Copies of this chain bind each other. A is one copy, B any other.
Amino acid sequence: MKFHTKYLWFNTERKREYINITREVEEALRESGIREGMVLVSAMHITAGVYVNDAEQGLIEDIDEWLESLAPFRYDYKHHLTGETNGDAHLKSLLVHHEVIIPVTDGRLDFGPWQQVYYAEFDGQRRKRLIIKVMGE
């Protein structure tokens, strides 16, 4: 069994941002030389997420509005008694989830026609990290 581990860093300009990282994941897969197995892509912070969906700008805006409606920014989260103001970012992370597993077949991401991997930042404007771990043979 072979393993290839890689970390990506982000420092977004805006608080919330959705970044297509499909190419970076494909690059990590190429570097690994793995032909069969899987790629784990996982945010290393609790105010960010990783998801698989479409690379369509209108949809990304819909997703952002929808997440804000279901897990809104508010002043009165109990978490804010710690001095933080990012309670909503924790809830958005839970909703979207912090990781995906992508199947690898014949040396490529075994995706359907429109699937793309996104890093979803919910509390940006500072350095955050993500792990890509390719596992297989």
* Chain A residues within CB distance 8 Å of chain B: 1, 3, 5, 36-38, 40, 42-46, 51-54, 56-59, 61-63, 66, 70-71, 77-82, 87, 90-91, 93-103, 105, 110-112, 114-115, 129, 131, 133, 135-137
Contact A46 B3 (CB under 8 A): no
Contact B101 A77 (CB under 8 A): no
Docked Cα-Cα span, A63 to B93, in Å, equals: 11
State the Cβ distance, A87 to closest chain B Cβ, in Å: 5
A1 partner, pick from B56, B105, B114, B136, beta carbons under 8 A: B136
> With A40-B101, A101-B40, A101-B42 in contact, do A78 and B61 touch (Cβ < 8 Å)?
yes
Contact A38 B36 (CB under 8 A): no
